[in-house]
A and B are shown apart, each in its own frame.
Chain A
Amino acid sequence: MQIDIAHIARLSRLAIEEDKLPKFQSQMESIITMVEQLPPMEDAGIGLDPEHPMQLRKDEVKPSMKRDEILKNAPQMQAGCVVVPKTVE
């Protein structure tokens, strides 16, 4: 199957270098050929495990992590905020 690797990369927010495109293209095509081996199946519905439905915790007000603790991993920070490029003109 032919895939548009540049399009998929854009959707994935990845920039693939020109010289690497052909290699990614052929590797991705062989992977997709492999996953295409699934047979057609009757649609019996897909859902969560009925025996073990997820258990959400109660919505309670509790102390959370400290802002400074979390922000110490941010690449760029100013006045307790994460710095990003301008998004709105």
Chain B
Amino acid sequence: MVNYQIIKYRKLWLIISGSMVVLSILALSIWGLRAGLDFTGGSLLEVKMAGGQPTVTQVQNSLSGVGISSLVVQPTGNNSVILRFQETSQEKHLAVVDALSKMELAKGGMTEVRFESIGTSVGAELRSKSFWVMFLVLLVIILYISLAFNKVSKPVVSWKYGLIAIIALFHDIVITAGIFAILGHYFAVEVNTPFVVALLTVLGYSVHDTIIVFDRTRENLPKSRDSFADTVNHSLNQTFVRSINTTLTVLLSLFAVLIFGGSSVRDFVLALMVGVFCGAYSSLFVASPLLVYFEQWQRRK
């Protein structure tokens, strides 16, 4: 059986991860996430014209008299066009639909495929709710890990496993968010409630993955005659194939949704894929190396 020297190069892995985290934080603080409709409030309208694909200018011209602000028009192909604007009242909605239906291309008929409007107050509320939920999930996970690992105390006490799992989590979430900050800046990818859901799922998944690697270490420690670092490396190798394969099956199923699932879930699935990948990476290359460092620091004291 191959024996990958993961722990030996622990400095390298942590430098890679550390710089990814720093880059992500930079991206987040410079560009920030592009908040979508759910968090800013506003309206989204998708219409399909019977007569053909309308252009951005055509749509903008037809709406010049309606009086809506921050209008963004995005043709989606298939004779459809998505409009975003700030106003959320039913009157404006009807006025916009009315103006669009007077366009030349809509003569043969126009379907209102989708309409969403979210008041500003709801947006602000969703934002604060999202933070609370994240906090709650983290709390519950810390509690569970310290409970599940309470029998392991040598040579690293159980709460430190929990702390490391949380650091790994932080790593996954920050990098996922950072990637979305970059996507938001360059490709106008927006962040909505599904993104928060994806992050929460990643939280669960990442801890799951970390726990499985730690579990093996927990099992091997009492009977191992090797050094702590070697035992951790051995445990990593034992769970290595499993980690790769599990991540692969999850990514395969998500890949199917990414390709066939349609545009409305694409960003959601992308967030999940990035998060799952980070989660798998961090449980192998962040959590266990950190565990070895924790043990070293402890001995030095």
A, B assembled together = no
A: residues with CB less than 8 A from B are: none
